[in-house]
């Protein structure tokens, strides 16, 4: 991390730039709103912009041929949307959907590539984040295959809580079923279990965390694995 961080939003990656480096970049960026459910990057389309969340979060969504969807990753202020560009690709099969409303800093793909080509330390930090995202996506695949719906739901609530920074999360049962790739009835039963234990309360399209410690105990090892690796790589 730079000793003289730029006075920007809370995005950890942009915060690693010096004031001078960010000042040179500022005329080329745009501060944008992230409305809930808006798709900022469409799967299989050429990536024209990258987005560094300052608040809120994106879900990386895979849509299958039959129209079903499942979430494979989450991106908040620890990262950025547009990792394929960093790795030399121009597109991805994944949608980047706003799951938590907030704000982001946007820059064109051309500007982004120019910046990373001219700033080796920044590029290296972005590459470390790309590895963190790879670990998260890989661990999510393991989690979906091996763990119960309550365990997966607890992991997902924790990951969302980390990025949103508030106990009240705007989440409907139907939306959670899409994100986890399970039937809505399974989400309802798991949330009822959590509510009975005092871990969360639920309202109209909302889930409020009441016991963070309790939700952590209910989660599988996947949450801890991703957190440990993220701290190791980019803390």
Q: Which sequence spans correspond to the domains of the chain?
A: 14-134, 148-219
**165: Cβ contacts below 8 Å, ≥ 6 apart:** 55
Q: What is the pLDDT along the chain (235 residues), one digit of tens a residue?
A: 444 444 457 899 999 998 899 988 999 999 999 999 999 999 999 999 999 999 999 999 998 899 888 899 999 999 999 999 999 999 999 999 999 999 999 999 999 999 999 999 999 999 999 999 999 999 999 999 999 999 999 999 999 999 999 999 988 888 888 888 899 999 999 999 999 999 999 988 899 999 999 999 999 999 999 999 999 999 7
- Measured CA to CA in angstroms, residue 142 lies from 27, 136, 138, 147 at distances of 42, 10, 7, 8
CA 145 – CA 141 distance, rounded (Å):
6
Q: Tell me the HSE value of 181 on the side-chain side, using a 13 A CA sphere.
A: 19
| pLDDT of the residue at 204 | 83
- Greatest C-alpha distance within the chain: 54
Surface-to-core class of residue 35, CB atoms within 10 Å of its CB (0-12 exposed, 13-18 middle, 19+ buried): exposed
Q: Class for domain 14-134, per CATH? A: mainly beta
CATH number of 148-219: 1.10.10.10
Tokens (6 digits) for 187: 């989400």
């Amino acid at each position: 991390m730079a000793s003289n961080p730029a006075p920007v939003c809370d995005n950890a990656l942009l915060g690693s730039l010096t004031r001078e480096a960010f000042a040179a970049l500022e005329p080329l960026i745009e501060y944008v709103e992230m409305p809930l459910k808006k798709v900022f990057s469409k799967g299989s389309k050429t990536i024209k912009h990258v987005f560094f969340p300052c608040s809120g979060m994106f879900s990386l969504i895979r849509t299958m041929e039959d129209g079903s969807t499942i979430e494979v990753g989450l991106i908040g202020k620890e990262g950025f949307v547009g990792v394929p560009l960093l790795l030399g690709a121009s597109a991805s099969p994944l949608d980047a959907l706003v799951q938590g409303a907030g704000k982001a800093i946007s820059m064109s793909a051309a500007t982004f590539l120019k910046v990373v080509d001219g700033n080796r330390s920044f590029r290296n930090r972005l590459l470390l984040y790309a590895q963190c995202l790879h670990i998260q996506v890989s661990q999510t695949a393991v989690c979906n295959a091996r763990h119960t719906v309550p365990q997966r739901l607890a992991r997902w609530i924790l990951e969302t809580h980390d990025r949103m920074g508030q106990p009240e999360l705007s989440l409907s049962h139907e939306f959670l079923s899409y994100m986890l790739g399970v039937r809505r009835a399974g989400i309802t039963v798991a949330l009822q279990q959590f509510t009975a234990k005092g871990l969360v309360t639920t309202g109209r399209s909302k889930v409020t965390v009441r016991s963070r410690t309790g939700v952590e105990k209910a989660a599988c090892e996947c949450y801890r694995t991703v957190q440990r690796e993220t701290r190791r790589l980019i803390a």
